[in-house]
Amino acid sequence: MKIEATPDFSFLTMLANASFIVQLVMLLLLVASFMSWLFIFQKMFALRVAIKQADEFEKEFWGGADLNHIFQNLTSGRLTPRGMEKIFEAGFREYAKLKKQSGLDISSVMDGTRRAMRAAYQREVDALERKLAFLATVGSVSPYVGLFGTVWGIMNSFRGLANVGQATLAHVAPGIAEALIATAMGLFAAIPAVIAYNRYTHDIDRLAIRYESFMEEFSNILQRQAR
Amino acid sequence: MIAPAADHYRFQSGALALLVHAAFFALLIFGITWQAKEPAGVVVDLWSNLPTPEAKPAIKPVEPPPPAPEPIKKVAPKPAPPAPVKTPDIALKEKRVQEEKRKQEQMKQEQLKKEQLKQEQTRLAEQARQQQAQADLARRAQAQQSAAQQSIVNDYTGRIQSKIQSKLNKALCGDGKPQLEFDIALLPTGQLRGNPILRKGSGLAACDKAVENAILQSDPLPVPPQPEAFSFFRELHLKFRPNE
């Protein structure tokens, strides 16, 4: 029997000594954690941009500028319009098209415009909500995956204990410490994912409400113009 | 279709995610390593044999003082020849003073010599006393050790005897008072080295055989684990009285 006077508790040796399943679980958790952090940062930037754009567009829109002028600016621009701009663009485009057609009453023109805006709105919100489901999954599942790794590691360490005549804490402790790393990693993946998920859904909800109110107000303006 | 805004930040996000994980791993590596305290080293001396108790003097004998420079033996100047009558008074007086001085010096030197002798004697006595104490100490330690060893040896000879006795078929030795003597040799593990040798038979071949079988059956015999105590068990002379 090998006598280990000083059990090596450094993190890397613990990783190296862990059983294959536990290592696999840790790898899985590492990938999940990395992906969730990637999406967290992506969404953070994307939402920041979307909110800023909405602010700017509302300022421009309520600043009393001509609707035609705004539309020209948007369509002639190099960048594809996004968010609130996109909704405005889709609505105004449809409105102009329907207006050109003769023999349509105001309500059907407004219905068509509203449908076009609704479609653009849904696409925009969907784009914002992309990958949030992944964060939710990581947040809810990775603690269990980590726990699985830990349970497996502890099982192994106790099985090893069965072969030893005199059981001491020194026989079990390293195995349990190794196994607990899996739980730590699961929590490390889950906690930020849950926080980010909650925060981002809240932000997106607020943004969606802003879009919807804008749609209603814009419809009113268009209806007034149509008369 | 609109390109999702997030795509513009893919690389930034990737870098940031990497940074977060690097920080996490740094925390784990240093955090855990920091907690794993290195136990203080333990130095172990391995002794194959117990050291004989060194009767080192607790106190070092005091270094003898460097011998004082031998007083220069001055040949006492012969008393000046009787002053001639002619010598003037003053000269005579001077001579007398000188003589007095010389006498005083001589007395001083003698005293010094006596003192040195005394010191030497006390030093020698001290040394002798210390040596005596050392010897005493050594003798006592040896006595203690040998007593301890003796008790171990007695203990284990008793155990060996009783083990063999327990395996012995007494029925083969009849009703008389047979006495047998065997020589056996043991390995440090207690196993027999070679066969037991019958030194003095009981006269009953069956009895001799029975004792020999008992010895063989009780292999391995109990021996003390201490190597210095075992040295008594390398060669054993055993006496048996099966019927007692």
CA distance A176 to chain B (A): 14
Residues of A in Cβ contact (< 8 Å) with B14? 38, 41
- Would A1 be classed as within a structural domain? no
- pLDDT given at position B3: 44
Question: Does residue B36 belong to the interface with chain A, where contact is any CB pair within 8 Å?
Answer: yes
**ipTM score here?**
0.74
CA distance B17 to chain A (A): 5
pLDDT at B183 over 70: yes
Total of domains in chain A = 1
Residues of A in Cβ contact (< 8 Å) with B16? 37, 41
Distances (CA, A) of B62 to A2, A58, B58, B121, B127: 53, 104, 12, 14, 8
Burial bucket for residue A13 (CB in 10 Å: 0-12, 13-18, 19+):
middle
- Would A154 be classed as within a structural domain? yes
What are the helix (H) ranges across chain B? 10-35, 89-167, 205-217, 227-230
Residue B31 C-alpha from the chain's centroid: 47
Residues of B in Cβ contact (< 8 Å) with A127? 2, 4-5
- Would A76 be classed as within a structural domain? yes
CB contact under 8 A, B32 and A50: no
Burial bucket for residue B105 (CB in 10 Å: 0-12, 13-18, 19+):
exposed
- Would A86 be classed as within a structural domain? yes
- Would A4 be classed as within a structural domain? no
Q: For chains A and B, count residue pairs whose Cβ atoms are closer than 8 Å.
A: 76
Query: pLDDT category, B54, cuts 50, 70, 90?
Result: low
- For residue B239, the SS3 value is strand
CB contact under 8 A, A5 and B39: yes
- Would A5 be classed as within a structural domain? no
CA distance A212 to chain B (A): 19
Mean pLDDT for back-to-back runs of 10 residues, chain A (227 residues): 50 78 90 93 91 90 84 80 88 89 83 92 92 93 93 85 74 80 91 94 94 92 82
pLDDT at B68 over 80: no
Task: Please count the CA atoms within 13 angstroms of the CA of B235 that sit on its side-chain side.
Answer: 1
d(CA B141, CA B144): 5
**Amino acid sitting at position B120:** E
Residues of B in Cβ contact (< 8 Å) with A5? 39
Asked if A116 contacts A91 with a C-beta cutoff of 8 angstroms, the reply is yes
- Considering only the beta carbons, identify the residue of B9, B25, B35 that sits closest to A41: B9
pLDDT digits (tens, 9 = 90+) for B158-182: 888 888 888 888 777 777 778 888 8
Question: Does residue B41 belong to the interface with chain A, where contact is any CB pair within 8 Å?
Answer: no
- Considering only the beta carbons, identify the residue of A9, A42, A184 that sits closest to B36: A9
Tell me: cis bond preceding B4? Omega within 30 of 0 counts: no
Please report where in the chains the tokens 């006390």 appear, as a residue: B122
pLDDT at B58 over 80: no
Rg for chain B (alpha carbons), in Å? 45
CA angle at B113 for the pair B110 and B114, rounded to the nearest 5°: 90
Question: Does residue B10 belong to the interface with chain A, where contact is any CB pair within 8 Å?
Answer: yes
Question: Does residue B40 belong to the interface with chain A, where contact is any CB pair within 8 Å?
Answer: no
The whole domain housing A16 covers: 11-226
Preferred mutation among B10, B12, B32 to probe A, highest tally of A CBs within 10 A: B32
Kindly identify which residue of chain B lies nearest to residue A33, measuring between CA atoms. Answer: B21
- Would A204 be classed as within a structural domain? yes
d(CA B10, CA B2): 16
Angle between helices A67-76 and A84-100 (to 10 degrees): 110
Give domain limits for chain B: 164-240
pLDDT at B45 over 60: yes
pLDDT at B203 over 60: yes
Pick among 3.30.360.10, 3.30.1150.10, 3.50.50.60, 3.40.640.10: CATH of B164-240: 3.30.1150.10
Residues of A in Cβ contact (< 8 Å) with B31? 11
What are the helix (H) ranges across chain A? 11-17, 20-62, 67-76, 84-100, 106-129, 132-162, 169-226
